Structure 1
Amino acid sequence: MSRNKKKRQFTQTLKQVNWYLCFGLLFLFSVLFGVAWAAYSLHELLNDADALPIEAVAVKGERKFTTDEEIQLALQSMLEDSFFSADVMDVQRALEGLPWVYHASVRREWPAKFKVTLQEQQAAAHWNGESWVNVNGEVFDALAHPEVERLPLLQGPEDSAKEVLTAYQQLNELLSINGFKLASLHLSPRHAWFAELENGIKIELGREDKMSRIQRFINVYPTLKQADKTIEKIDLRYDTGFAVAWQKTNKESR
């Protein structure tokens, strides 16, 4: 075979290879473009609130203080998203930001519903006049309701809510067994305890042995009650004794 003939055959083979390569690359780019377009279209569809709106939010859980209007207002901006683009965690945070909501669990339910389960705060007492402390000793802020207005009054330094609540529960349990009710408990910055009973008697307990000192009050109260006077305050900070302040009568106050 002549040299020129071999050269022509090589050139034809090279051209065929180039055409195959071009067609292959064109096919590959077409497939990639199709996949990208499909992904873009799907993304647009999933984020289209008109095509896939959130049609309903079902709220479960016992509610006393959280209204439907508060929930709607908290979720108003998120309900403008599509069913798939709305962030479940954002919905949960928005609901838990409501004053009386302690915990919220949120999940999607096909085809267009969000299911929400709410757990409200269980207030155990007033805290420092303006806030509340829940049964777990956690402080929260919320508007008052008639159902919780008569809860006990607790006071103390910042971050002492759990300690004060625990002390209140212990003292009130001991007092209740003996016919008393603890209305308020105060822990001073110097860590001294002050209590007030529902009958108005104020009790100074000091910084130590508050349980034994309350027991001492319970033991001596029947004797003090026999006096023809009304107890205003009793100081139990002494190791063995106590001091009593009596309410002044109208005659004495003149």
Structure 2
Amino acid sequence: MSWKDKMRHWRQRLAAVDWYLVSGLAFLLLVISAFSLSALRLHDLLGDAEALPIESVIIKGDRQYTSDAEIQAALQSLMRRSFFSADVNQVQEALEELPWVYQASVRRKWPARLKVFLQEQQPVAHWNGDKWLNEHGQVFEAPHKEGIDQLPQLAGPDAMAKDVLTSYRQIRELLQINGFGLKSLSLNARHAWRAVLDNGVMLELGREDKMARIQRFINVYPVLAKQPNKVARVDLRYDTGLAVGWDDAQQESR
């Protein structure tokens, strides 16, 4: 094929091209490129902590045990991000790791704030000496705070914490109706119950029928209180009757 024939062939092929379609595709590619570049620049801008910093964190909710300093320390590294790149889930997790925080919720507040609602732990009892029990019967660890020394002492396996709290409330109510206060309640590994009253009397309740045994103690206590020696311990782990230990004498009555 001669040179002239080749040129004629290419002119024919070019003439057959749909230039309207080609120009349309070229324009589309240009638009896509422009949008991609804009999206990339916007992404960089939204992630720029200097351009769009978090200006403040608004803390709501009643707080007794969690200080502003503790919150600031927990969020220090997370606040170095921009308003849009900050992960509110990470902020929530960081706050909930504070020992006295029970629950936290976090949301963005335009234009440059985070709004946080904190719910603190509500301790209702000491648990196994160095831990706490909240109102839901959940065990948690937290440093001691002033003003909560008068809580009852509860003890038992952690998996049984909710049951111990429920039993404490039931026993306390029955005792209070009859003029007694409940200082502590414990459940040992063999699932046997022991209670200590505000007056120092220890009640051995065993594994079963603890409410009936408490009532038996209530019924007989007026007689025991008339004795010359102070009651120290009452063993109610009998089907009928009880055993009494006295403070000032090595004698028992049954």
**Is the structural similarity TM-score above 0.5?**
yes
Aligned length: 245
Match of 1:17 in 2: 17
Residue matched to 1:174: 174
Indicate the SS of the match to 2:74. helix
Q: Which amino acid aligns with 2:30?
A: S
Specify the alignment match of 2:252 in structure 1.
Answer: none
CA distance in 1, matches of 2:132, 2:98: 14
Shift of 1:194: 0.5
State the shift of 1:14 in Å.
Answer: 1.8
Separation of aligned partners in 2, 1:173 and 1:68: 38
Cα contact 2:232–2:247 (8 A) shared by 1: yes
Which one-letter code corresponds to 1:153 in the other structure?
Q
| TM-score with structure 1 setting the length | 0.91
Query: Cα deviation per residue 1:67-100 (whole Å; 9 max; x = unaligned)?
Result: 0001111111111010011111111111111111
Find the counterpart in structure 2 of residue 165 from structure 1: 165
- In the other structure, the counterpart of 1:152 is 152
> 1:149: how far off?
1.7
- Which residues of 2 match residues 51-130 of structure 1 at below 5 A? 51-130=51-130
Equivalent-residue separation in structure 1 for 2:206 and 2:24 (angstroms)? 90
CA deviations on 1:103-144 (whole Å, 9 max, x unpaired) are: 111111100011111111111101111111111011100011
* Structure 1, 14-23 or 211-220: larger mean CA deviation: 14-23
* 2:63 maps to amino acid: R
SS of corresponding position for 1:147: coil
The answer for the alignment partner of 1:252 in structure 2 is none
Q: Which residue in 1 is equivalent to 2:142?
A: 142
CA offsets 1:164-212 (integer angstroms, 9 cap, x no match): 0000000001111111111111101111000101111111000111001
1:200 aligns with 2:200: yes
Unpaired runs of at least 5, structure 1: 250-254
TM superposition shift of 1:239: 1.2
- Sequence identity, in percent? 57
Q: Distance in 1 between matches of 2:194 and 2:212?
A: 14
Q: Which structure 2 residues correspond to residues 235-250 of structure 1 after superposition, within 5 A?
A: 235-248=235-248
| Amino acid of the structure 2 residue aligned with 1:226 | K
Note if contact 2:139-2:158 (Cα within 8 Å) is conserved in structure 1: no
Give how far 1:232 is off.
Answer: 0.8
The amino acid that maps onto 2:77 is S
Is the 2:126–2:153 Cα contact (8 Å) retained in structure 1?
yes
Quote the RMSD (CA, aligned, Å). 2.1
- Structure 2 unaligned spans of 5+: 250-254
> Residues 11 and 166 of structure 1: is their aligned pair in 2 closer, same or farther, counting only changes over 3 Å?
same
1:183 aligns with 2:171: no
